[in-house]
Amino acid sequence: MKEVLLVEDEPGLVLTMADRLRSEGYAVSTALDGDDGFRKASSETYDIILLDVMLPRKSGFDVCRELRDQGVATPILMLTARSQTIDKVQGLKLGADDYLTKPFEMPELLARVEALLRRQASSSAPVAATYEFGDVRVDVRCTEVQRGGQPISLSAREFQLLCYFLEHPGATVSRQELLNEVWGHRSVQSTRTVDVHVAWLRQKLESDPKHPKYITTIHGLGYKFQPTAG
Ligand code: CA
């Protein structure tokens, strides 16, 4: 049984989330403030941590950073308020794995949790901290991308998509696989979403996005990332 630590201070939300997670077969522990959340997360072992940003005693950002400083590598899904657009970037930089904006529907939460747990399972092979192809340099830990020495701004999803390509060089990956692995298999997005994000990545990373070198289209099958194409 997968163990979830839910760090959230709104009692109603704690109840709703914990009930739903338990009904899906998860074991759920809860903490109502940042101090308690940090204490539990650093002393017990969980499969995933759901971490609110706005918490009494210690913010979710501080909890996240301190856990990573202590070497706790448990996947963290940050829960942010809609107004806190800066949160996602900040959260990812501090070592969170994904974020979910409140208010959210329970199926969306479950999909994110499943995606993170699956990613965790498939990434037991050590992942390189940095990748280089052409004039692009990707620092996975710092979620930083540079091209020709200049920083490039990617959305969280674009970054996750790029990471999936980096981890599967030379493989033909279907749109459905990308949707499952990057968006989560309960995602309601269509494969068209994948095409749109690939197009955005090409715009940012390819010198001639209309004739991409690195992320090529394999007609009828999907995409292939070829880091040595340059
Ligand atoms: Ca809160």
pTM score above 0.85: no
Q: What is residue 141's predicted lDDT score, i.e. its pLDDT?
A: 77
Q: Where are the alpha helices (DSSP H) in 1-79?
A: 11-23, 34-43, 60-69
Which range among 28-32, 40-44, 84-88, 128-132 shows the weakest confidence by mean pLDDT? 84-88
pLDDT digits (tens, 9 = 90+) for 165-210: 998 989 999 999 999 888 876 677 788 999 999 999 999 999 999 9
- Ligand 1 midpoint to CA 189 (Å): 28
- In 3D space, the residue among 56, 102, 57 whose CA is nearest the CA of residue 78 turns out to be 102
- Ligand 1 midpoint to CA 8 (Å): 6
Neighbours of ion ligand 1 (CB under 5 A): 9, 52, 54
- Ligand 1 midpoint to CA 153 (Å): 28
Tokens, residue 50: 């759901």
CATH class of residue range 3-123: alpha beta
- Ligand 1 midpoint to CA 178 (Å): 32
Every domain of the chain with CATH number 1.10.10.10 lies at 130-225
pLDDT digits (tens, 9 = 90+) for 115-171: 999 887 766 545 567 888 999 999 887 789 999 999 999 998 999 999 999 989 899
CA dihedral 224, 139, 120, 10 (to 10 degrees): -120
| Distance, CA of 28 to CA of 89 (rounded, Å) | 27
- Ligand 1 midpoint to CA 222 (Å): 41
Domain at 130-225: CATH code: 1.10.10.10
| Distance, CA of 211 to CA of 230 (rounded, Å) | 13
Phi (first) and psi of residue 18, to 5 degrees = -65, -45
Residue 80 near residue 87, CB atoms below 8 Å:
yes
- Ligand 1 midpoint to CA 6 (Å): 12
Q: Where are the alpha helices (DSSP H) in 94-190?
A: 106-122, 156-167, 175-178
- Ligand 1 midpoint to CA 55 (Å): 5
What b/e string do you get for 17-51 counting C-beta neighbours within 10 Å, with b at 16 or more? Answer: bbeebeeeebebbbbbbbebbbebbeeeebbbbbb
Q: What is residue 16's predicted lDDT score, i.e. its pLDDT?
A: 96
Q: Quickly tell me which residue has 């942010």 as its tokens.
A: 80
Q: Is the peptide bond before 107 cis (omega within 30 degrees of 0)?
A: no
| Distance, CA of 113 to CA of 217 (rounded, Å) | 30
Q: What is residue 18's predicted lDDT score, i.e. its pLDDT?
A: 97
Every domain of the chain with CATH number 3.40.50.2300 lies at 3-123
- Ligand 1 midpoint to CA 157 (Å): 24
